[in-house]
């Protein structure tokens, strides 16, 4: 493949809803099949990533981050770096979050490579897409949504409000529908709708200095960024959320 053909694959592509539907069906059958999330995102991203990168360049801090072009996955997987953050900080909360679940940023990157082989390409817009991928678990910590099926649906709804990527909206609303099919007592649609509203109300997160953010107290960071509590989600008992199978 020529360099020009490679570059064409970075350009905004037409939306592919049928591909997204097929990937969502596979994800419903196995919610651990994270590669399907990236397949959906790829099918429905359209121009959202390029627009987000341009928005980043329009802010002082965002422009600085784009100039530095640091790979967050390397930081987030560095135990010595994470150990710097004291109790009560965003960094400490993130450290506890990943240690409790065995998550790594590189693990998420590997899932992305299954459907997007050029995701590591040295291109500024692709770098921005990697940044959105790598902050996913940080946004879990900031928003208070856990990694159960309802929590994932909510955090992607929050992410849709932040990024305008239709893939997030598709996953969030589709997951809410499947959750309510499984357990009608769970207010999944209302929780997802609240998460979207919370994302709209919050400051724009992609352009943040994440190293500085990690040093902040978690409660203070949430207040500064206007991240509202996930009230509807939190009212669903944890045992009820964890019992969800999310199967077709």
How is the chain split into domains, by residue range? 24-242
Residues 6+ apart with CB under 8 A from 60: none
Helix and strand numbers, DSSP H then E, in the chain: 18, 0
Query: 32-77, pLDDT tens digit by residue?
Result: 677 777 777 777 787 899 999 999 999 999 999 999 999 999 999 9
Q: If you average pLDDT over residues 126-140, what whole number do you get? A: 95
For residue 32, give the nearest of 88, 103, 95 by alpha carbon: 103
Query: 90-121, pLDDT tens digit by residue?
Result: 999 999 999 999 888 888 788 778 777 778 88
Whole-model pTM? 0.88
Name the pLDDT band for 17 (thresholds 50, 70, 90). low
């Amino acid at each position: 493949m020529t360099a020009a053909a490679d570059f064409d694959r970075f350009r905004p592509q037409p939306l592919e809803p049928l591909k997204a539907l097929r990937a969502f069906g596979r994800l419903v059958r196995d919610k651990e099949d994270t590669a399907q999330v990236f397949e959906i995102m790829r099918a429905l991203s359209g121009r959202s990533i390029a627009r987000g990168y341009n928005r980043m360049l329009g802010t002082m801090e965002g422009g600085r981050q784009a100039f530095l072009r640091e790979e967050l996955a390397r930081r987030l997987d560095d135990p010595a770096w994470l150990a710097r953050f004291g109790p009560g900080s965003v960094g400490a909360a993130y450290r506890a979050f990943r240690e409790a679940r065995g998550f790594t940023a590189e693990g998420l990157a590997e899932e992305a490579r299954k459907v997007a082989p050029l995701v590591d390409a040295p291109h500024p817009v692709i770098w921005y897409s990697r940044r959105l991928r790598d902050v996913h678990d940080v946004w879990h910590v900031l928003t208070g949504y856990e990694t159960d099926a309802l929590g994932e649906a909510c955090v992607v709804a929050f992410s849709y409000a932040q990024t305008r990527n239709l893939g997030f909206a598709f996953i969030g609303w589709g997951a809410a529908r499947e959750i309510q099919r499984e357990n009608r007592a769970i207010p999944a649609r209302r929780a997802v709708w609240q998460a979207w509203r919370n994302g709209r109300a919050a400051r724009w997160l992609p352009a943040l200095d994440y190293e500085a953010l990690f040093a902040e107290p978690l409660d203070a960071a949430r207040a500064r960024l206007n991240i509202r509590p996930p009230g509807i989600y939190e009212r669903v008992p944890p045992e009820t959320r964890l019992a969800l199978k999310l199967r077709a």
